[in-house]
Amino acid sequence: MPINVIGQVFFGTHNADHLTPGFGSDSYVMTADNFVTDSIDGGSGNDTVDYSHQQDGVGVTVTLTDPASAGGASGGTVTADFPMQLYNPSTGKYMQFEHHQVVAT
């Protein structure tokens, strides 16, 4: 009977997180926050980064550095677009724009 070694689960916060590996295949449950960049070092194993709990409608894009390499990707970045608005007092109107940033490396 095979023994499956399951790694640890790490939870990101709304501050800058610098998460390091546990043992085996780890899971990182993260948040994408405006003006905050996290770093994740998954170490060995088949790790999972999970942004599915994001509640504010901010979408994230994961870009792997070498997705086709043997054993899977060794790194990548996570980016997000944050909707923002600024009030222009001279026109009395709000300007809508998106702030694009790297939220994890």
Joined together, the tokens standing for residue 39 give 């770093």
Is 1 domain-assigned? no
Q: Which residues contact 68 (CB under 8 A, 6 or more apart)?
A: none
Is 62 domain-assigned? yes
- The more confident residue out of 74 and 103 is 103
Is 11 domain-assigned? yes
Is 41 domain-assigned? yes
Burial of residue 103 (number of CB atoms within 10 Å: 0-12, 13-18, 19+): buried
**pLDDT of 6 over the 90 cut:** no
Helix (H) or strand (E) holding 8: strand 6-11
Cβ(31)–Cβ(55) below 8 Å: no
Task: Find the largest Cα–Cα distance for the chain.
Answer: 73
User: What number is the average pLDDT over the span 20-41?
Assistant: 85
Give residue 56's domain range: 6-104
Q: Report pTM.
A: 0.72
Number of independent structural domains in the chain: 1
